[in-house]
Amino acid sequence: MSAIVVVGGQWGDEGKGRIVDLLAQKAKLVARYSAGNNAGHTIINELGEFKLHLVPAGIFYPDKLCVIGNGVVVDPPVLLKEIADLEERDVSVRGRLFLSDRSHVIMPWHRLIDELDEKLRGEGAIGTTGRGVGPAFIDKVGRAGVRVADIVDSEALLSLLSFLVPYKNAVLERLYGSDPLDLDAIASEYSDYGARLAPFVSDTSALVQQALEAGDTVLLEGAQGSLLDLDSGTYEYVTSSVPSSLAAGAAIGMGIGPTQIGTVLGVYKAYNTRVGNGPMPTELHDDTGRLLREGGPRPEYGSTTGRPRRCGWFDAVAARYSARINGLSSAALTRLDVLDPLPVIRVCTAYRVYGETIATMPASSAAMAAAEPVYKELPGWRQDTAGVRHFEDLPVEAQSYVRFIEDVLGVPICLVSVGPEREQAIRLERII
């Protein structure tokens, strides 16, 4: 059996968590392969509503194994709290959750530098989640990171920190004019985290390989969205994840080969949202924008930071681009129900940039910021879709809208969701 990767096709928060939760019913192992606790994945089930930041969405099925792969950066107190919160709500975690010994650790200076760096950028701030994720990836690439294997060995940790803390203090004091950090306090705090996380730590690459060799279904849960990717996204307003959250990053972030990935499923919202700064050609500042944010169950506020999400029409230029860079085999369309009250729905099919009409995303941030959307108008359906479970029971205008998005993407839509609950989904094609 090969692995299935689930990626976000827009700027994040497409509903990856709820789609992975749905597909996990048929999987044996569910894993996160990139990013950190900048991600916030919402899952609603019989136990209530959960917002997962690090633990994979498969955790709610007691027979599934869950893996945090080597490509993820982990903030130990955040992971320990997430585990404690799950256990408090009767979700079994021990013996089922595995953390890679190669994962990098978010250290106190990463959170500080995230905040200080944003201040330094001033007007040009990225609008990060402030979780220290970017600085942790920068140190990973700069060969100045701390890994899980280091915090579970207190002697190795002390020796590493004896170099890193004075080095980071020089940066904090001289560049940012900030107070220095205390080496001994950090060594003691992080070796304590190491001891508490030790029961979860494992060679997760071997674990996933074994599952694949045994013919088990493995689901790889992406974070963020393709347009936030460091290489292909709206740079510099992107996230710093290495490996990328694109489908191609899943192999590296998991410790498997690309030939072991068989299916790539892209998740798209029926319109667009973005949190943080950076260009978003279809953003609306009017009543329709407010309706998209506030309408329907689960209004559009960030799952990690609570910030209001910027909302606008579906951007088909960006969607087609993200379908290609991920090599999608199929797609899921979420939050269709939010469009229910609209008389007319618009889809951006091209950009006007400096007087020219283009159908691809420009690399230049200035050109992207200047891009004006060219819209196609489609009729709305003005009917409640929340209770629909079969495609042919959707209003014809809603069916046409789904088919239009399918054409734009150039891949079949296998699933449409019409509400945040697990069962509020319409299956069009078999995925697993």
Q: Determine whether 41 is an active site residue.
A: yes
Q: Round to whole Å and give the CA distance between 169 and 171.
A: 5
Q: Determine whether 13 is an active site residue.
A: yes
14 scored as a contact of Mg ion (CB under 5 A): no
Residue 336 CA: distances (Å) to CA of 168, 264, 348: 47, 21, 17
Strand partners, 220: 5, 31
* Residue whose C-beta lies closest to Mg ion: 13
Q: Which does 414 bind (CB under 5 to 8 A by kind): ligand GDP, Mg ion, ligand IMO, none?
A: none
Which residues are near ligand GDP by CB under 6 A? 8, 12-18, 40-42, 44, 296-298, 303, 334-335, 337-338, 417-420
385 scored as a contact of ligand IMO (CB under 6 A): no
- Choice from 78, 108, 127, 367 touching ligand IMO (CB under 6 A): 127
Residue of 260, 268, 237 whose CA lies nearest to 127: 237
303 scored as a contact of Mg ion (CB under 5 A): yes
Residue of 268, 271, 284 whose CA lies nearest to 321: 268
Residue of 26, 19, 61 whose CA lies nearest to 43: 19
106 scored as a contact of ligand IMO (CB under 6 A): no
**Interface of this chain with Mg ion, residues 208 to 237, rule: CB under 5 A:** none
40 scored as a contact of Mg ion (CB under 5 A): yes
144/214 with CB nearer ligand IMO: 144
- Choice from 13, 75, 139, 337 touching Mg ion (CB under 5 A): 13
282 scored as a contact of Mg ion (CB under 5 A): no
Structure tokens at 407: 């054409």
Q: Verify cis geometry, omega within 30 degrees of 0, for the bond prior to 166.
A: no
Q: Where are the beta strands (DSSP E) in 37-153?
A: 41-45, 48-52, 65-68, 73-74, 97-100, 104-105
Stretch that binds Mg ion, among 39-47, 237-245, 275-283, 327-335 (CB under 5 A): 39-47
The torsion angle over the Cα atoms of residues 355, 360, 362 and 368, rounded to 10 degrees, is: 70
Catalytic residue among 41, 53, 104, 110: 41
* Residue whose C-beta lies closest to ligand IMO: 276
108/308 with CB nearer ligand GDP: 308
55/187 with CB nearer ligand IMO: 55
The helix or strand, by DSSP H or E, that contains position 84, with its residue range, turns out to be helix 76-88
Q: Which does 266 bind (CB under 5 to 8 A by kind): ligand GDP, Mg ion, ligand IMO, none?
A: none
**Interface of this chain with ligand IMO, residues 225 to 284, rule: CB under 6 A:** 225, 228, 239-240, 275-276
Q: Round to whole Å and give the CA distance between 60 and 41.
A: 13
Residue 109 CA: distances (Å) to CA of 135, 182, 192, 214, 242: 8, 11, 18, 42, 19
Q: What are the catalytic residues?
A: 13, 41
Residues found near Mg ion in the complex (CB under 5 A): 13, 40, 303
Residues found near ligand IMO in the complex (CB under 6 A): 8, 12-13, 38-41, 126-129, 131, 133-134, 223-225, 228, 239-240, 275-276, 303
